[in-house]
Structure 1
Amino acid sequence: MNVAIVTVGDELLAGRTTNTNATWLSEQLTERGVSVERVTTVPDRVGDIARVVNEYRAEYDAVLVTGGLGPTHDDVTMEGVAAALGRSLEEHADALAWLEANGYSRAELTNGTADVPAGARPLHNEIGVAPGAVLEGVYVFPGVPSEMKAMFESVADEFSGTPTYRTVIVAEEPESALLDRIDAVRERFEVTVGSYPGESVRLALEGTDEETVSAAAAWLRDRVELAE
């Protein structure tokens, strides 16, 4: 399973808010064996949201969109997703009933609070108010981290893939000097190798077979100068 993550918000693009949602979602999905192939941030503009969601839903098994939910003027994510899917926005009776059952009277709710794209399955917001939605492989979550996390957990079982195993070796050698052994371990074992230089060089070995990753790591440890 491969997915794309789209985070929505002018505050993210301006650097005034740290994009913790993308990091958290990527971690959760990777742990489930799902390949995260795109993380994109777009402004609070219907056209930008619609364009990116429409492009990604054609390329990936699922698109996760977070941020910009609610009834205020700059909460336009639902509108953008609806446009990408060629749907209208409609008040969802089940979403409204759930809100009323959880203490929100219709009179208290701002117009548009329970609007989702026509035909979508609403995702109830256990912590906040604005519901999320699922339609045609597009999952829409709130931007508030606690709300997003709780809502993702309610559908987490819908995301699964092939588990990967990862081992990190820290080498006390220049990255350029390690190239021959990186090539060799890749040729001998079915693993990928990521090289991340800093004060030392972190070599991350990944693969779908745990024993193969362990064997590759043991082979490489014997052939590099390890950092203390």
Structure 2
Amino acid sequence: MQVAIVTVGDELLAGDTVNTNAAWLGERLADRGATVERVVVVPDRVADIAQEVNELRAEYDAVVTTGGLGPTHDDLTMEAVAAAVGVPVEENEEAVAWITEHTDYEHADLVEGTTHLPKGCRMLPNEKGVAPGCVIESVYVLPGVPDEMKAMFDAIAEEFSGDYRHVRVVEADEPESALVERFAELRDRFDVTVGSYPGDHVRVKLQSTDEEELDRAADWLRERVDGLDEVDEVDGVEGADEADGV
């Protein structure tokens, strides 16, 4: 399953807020076997959000948006997603009922627009806040407040899946630039993906759906890199039963 993440907010683009939501979602989706192919940050403008969502939903299996939910002047994501899929926004009676039954708010207390969702969507209750999210077609609309976003994603996490991906991590004492040719040969010889992350040592992350192939690749690399020690990591998983909570 290929997924794109759209994070909404002028504050993200200005650097006033660190985009921790994208990093958390990327990790959780990878845990479930889904592949995050794109992460996009867009301003609080309906046209920009709608354009990105419309283009990405045509290319990927699912689009997950965070941010821009609620009734304030810069909460425009619902309107934009509705525009992207070609429907109006309207008061969602299920959202009204859920908020009335599960929060301290009455309908009359809510700021106008709080429960306005794209027509025909599936409402996602906000267990940690007020403004609901939704799912429409392949677009999942989540809050920007991290605690709210995490709780809402956890409620729908089982809807994201993919092939079981095994992981091996090795550490090399050589410079990353010195390993380039060996990485190329590794990819030619074995059906694995290779990621390298420089620091005090170079961390080499190998992934494959075939565990035996992965072990052969790790053994091959270990034999050809000086000062290389293998470090096992928890495998990537498919399905909710094996995914670790965060």
TM-score bin (small chain) = over 0.9
1:136 corresponds in structure 2 to 137
One-letter code aligned to 1:64: V
Shift of 1:202: 2.2
Partners of 2:45 and 2:82 in 1: CA distance: 13
Partners of 2:31 and 2:112 in 1: CA distance: 38
Query: Is residue 169–residue 226 contact of structure 1 (8 Å, CA) maintained in 2?
Result: no
2:146 corresponds in structure 1 to 145
> Over residues 169-223 of structure 1, what are the superposed CA-to-partner deviations in whole Å (9 max), with x where a residue is unaligned?
2212233332332233223221122233334322221111122212211221121
**Percent identity, aligned pairs only?**
61
- Name the structure, 1 or 2, with higher relative contact order (CA <8 Å, separation 6+): 2
Deviates more, 1:59-68 or 1:102-111: 102-111
Partners of 1:87 and 1:135 in 2: CA distance: 10
One-letter code aligned to 2:54: N
**Would you identify which runs of 4 or more consecutive aligned residues in structure 1 move more than 6 Å?**
none
Shift of 1:67: 0.2
Q: CA RMSD in A?
A: 1.3
1:80 corresponds in structure 2 to 80
Alignment of 1:6-85 (within 5 A): 6-85=6-85
Q: With structure 2 as the length reference, what TM-score do the two structures score?
A: 0.89
Deviates more, 1:206-215 or 1:34-43: 206-215
> Over residues 11-61 of structure 1, what are the superposed CA-to-partner deviations in whole Å (9 max), with x where a residue is unaligned?
111101010100000000001110100000001110100000000010000
The question of 1:213 aligning with 2:214 is answered yes
One-letter code aligned to 1:197: P
The question of 1:110 aligning with 2:106 is answered no
Query: Is residue 123–residue 151 contact of structure 1 (8 Å, CA) maintained in 2?
Result: yes
Work out the number of aligned pairs and report it: 228
Query: Is residue 175–residue 202 contact of structure 2 (8 Å, CA) maintained in 1?
Result: yes
2:126 corresponds in structure 1 to 125
Q: With structure 1 as the length reference, what TM-score do the two structures score?
A: 0.96
One-letter code aligned to 2:171: V
